[in-house]
Amino acid sequence: MYRKALAAAAQARGWPIHWYDAKTVFGLASRALHVEDFEAHFLQARRELGPPWNQDHKLALAAAIAAAQEPSE
């Protein structure tokens, strides 16, 4: 319910909303980046950028990459 309320508020401001499926978003991000293994790509980024990078950050990164590949409305 909280996500839907935030999404509605963002849409009211004209901000784009992107929903994703956590089960498929890593595959979408891999294809968008043209990498075979998103996990390996994420670990390399984590080494280069430093902490904090946990599972939630990995999911958010993948979702942002996938959202950036969606066609504009």
Residue 46 falls inside a structural domain: yes
Residues 6+ apart with CB under 8 A from 39: 26
Residue 53 falls inside a structural domain: yes
| Residue 73 confidence (pLDDT) | 52
Number of folded domains in the chain?
1
| Residue 12 confidence (pLDDT) | 96
Residue 50 falls inside a structural domain: yes
Report the distance separating Cα 27 and Cα 40, nearest Å: 13
Report the distance separating Cα 56 and Cα 31, nearest Å: 20
Record the pTM.
0.76
pLDDT tens track for 55-64: 899 999 999 9
pLDDT tens track for 6-47: 999 999 999 989 898 989 999 999 999 999 999 999 999 889
Residues 6+ apart with CB under 8 A from 67: 18, 20
Q: Which domain holds residue 49?
A: 18-69
Residue 3 falls inside a structural domain: no
Residue 4 falls inside a structural domain: no
| CA distance to 22, 26, 66, per residue, from 58 (Å) | 11, 9, 12
| Residue 72 confidence (pLDDT) | 55
Residue 44 falls inside a structural domain: yes
Residue 65 falls inside a structural domain: yes
Residue 12 falls inside a structural domain: no
